[in-house]
Structure 1
């Protein structure tokens, strides 16, 4: 089964039951519904090749789904707080996930193995891979105590530069 384009929405029919609805685009007609997580889903990303999509949830789990079969291939459970952000690398081989934990988990998509744990001083709410290189940009909630809290400020950090390990 090959879907042209699909849109995924999340609804919670009852507490601790997050339903993933796959809709056709642009008609928005229901194609299939699947139980995705036992709590609210917060973020979703598709890999660049279109083979997988990943969902991050308030249950602190990241699920990797096969787009054609609409089945969960594997779960990543290294975070302790609700997953706030996800990003696939340009080649689709790595998946970065972050939360209020003070680290970013970078996993190999095909095996689920942890490749890196990027340490942070505060919660991370945004991660994004470079479109052509294994370089990860991320932004943390690190304003408190370091900057004037009355002004809007932020810091973008990079992981994957030659000196990183």
Structure 2
């Protein structure tokens, strides 16, 4: 236990000297989704203003590189390719999924879907993009043909979708507090886990594939063994429905956010609190950098001078206080 305690102490101390925040305001409306490219070179944000902003990270500096416009509706979620750092997919309320290339700064594919899209997940092998819409229809896009190859309509509220590292197992969370695990491509139900007594909102796999975590309307985050499908522990420091979660690159830290005015960062093995980030409004998206302890996030912040207007900002926390 001493080793665990010293690791927790080390992490706590690290963030005492690495809690500086960099802020950017690339959008004219609320930021719905943030995410890092697989190499950590780029940070993308998708907004209600229908645009996607791309930033490069160099040292402790964020620089806006591009603004992708073209969607006719809100960009509700974005997802980078797992191994190609230049490709980004976006799900929009305009009933399309788009794929963007940061090298050419252009949209390389525009795939029509049957509803207003709210969530998206790219399979680890890069071959399939799953997208969910407001009517609880999940569509699977074959990236090689850019066509929808399968659709599944659910009779319950589908909240978030994700892939296991083998790209042959697909997970979704629902309004009944369950995690459904399906085989892909045949979409047969393998398991249904009753994870929470309330709506299960978000799901995230750790980078090693050993664990996944779920966030719920009961304000709990639960950590699961991905092989045994058993709950290992819960994180209970938040008081509002957990909207978004993210594992650090090494799987040691788990960030969780909600309408609480704080983002909670816990140590995965013990559940102990490592740090928290004070915020001024509800937080709906967080994402750890794939190679270092930097957390990108966006809150429902309002403009300093006009409280009716969204700030359209995103922040990155974890830079050295000396930088």
User: What TM-score results when the alignment is normalised by the length of structure 2?
Assistant: 0.46
Quick check: 1:89 aligned with 2:254?
Answer: no
Q: Is the 8 A contact 1:23 1:32 kept in 2?
A: yes
Shift of 1:9: 2.4
1:78: which partner in 2? 237
Cα RMSD of the aligned pairs, angstroms, is: 2.0
What is the rounded CA distance, in whole Å, between the counterparts of 1:105 and 1:145 in structure 2? 25
What is the rounded CA distance, in whole Å, between the counterparts of 1:10 and 1:138 in structure 2? 22
Give the secondary structure class of the aligned counterpart of 1:160: strand
Structure 1 residues without counterparts, runs of 5 or longer: none
Q: Is the 8 A contact 2:261 2:280 kept in 1?
A: yes
1:67: which partner in 2? 226
What is the rounded CA distance, in whole Å, between the counterparts of 2:283 and 2:292 in structure 1? 21
Q: Is the 8 A contact 1:3 1:68 kept in 2?
A: no
User: Aligned ranges for residues 18-57 of structure 1 at < 5 Å?
Assistant: 18-57=177-216
Q: Is the 8 A contact 2:178 2:200 kept in 1?
A: no
Q: Is the 8 A contact 1:42 1:84 kept in 2?
A: yes
Change (3 A) 1:146 1:72: farther
Q: 1:134 aligns with which of 270, 278, 293?
A: 293
Specify the structure having the higher radius of gyration (Cα): 2
1:6: which partner in 2? 169
Shift of 1:86: 0.5
Change (3 A) 1:11 1:117: closer
Change (3 A) 1:146 1:59: farther
Change (3 A) 1:137 1:147: farther
Corresponding residue pairs, total: 158
What is the rounded CA distance, in whole Å, between the counterparts of 2:223 and 2:250 in structure 1? 16
Change (3 A) 1:6 1:117: same
Greater relative contact order, per chain length (Cα 8 Å cut-off, separation 6+): 2
Quick check: 1:162 aligned with 2:297?
Answer: no
Give CA deviations for 1:18-74 in whole Å, capped at 9, x if unaligned.
222211112111111221100011111110000011100111000111100001111
Give the secondary structure class of the aligned counterpart of 2:177: strand
Give the secondary structure class of the aligned counterpart of 1:154: coil
Q: Is the 8 A contact 1:42 1:57 kept in 2?
A: yes
Shift of 1:3: 8.7
Higher helix share: 2
What is the rounded CA distance, in whole Å, between the counterparts of 1:146 and 1:140 in structure 2? 17
User: What TM-score results when the alignment is normalised by the length of structure 1?
Assistant: 0.88
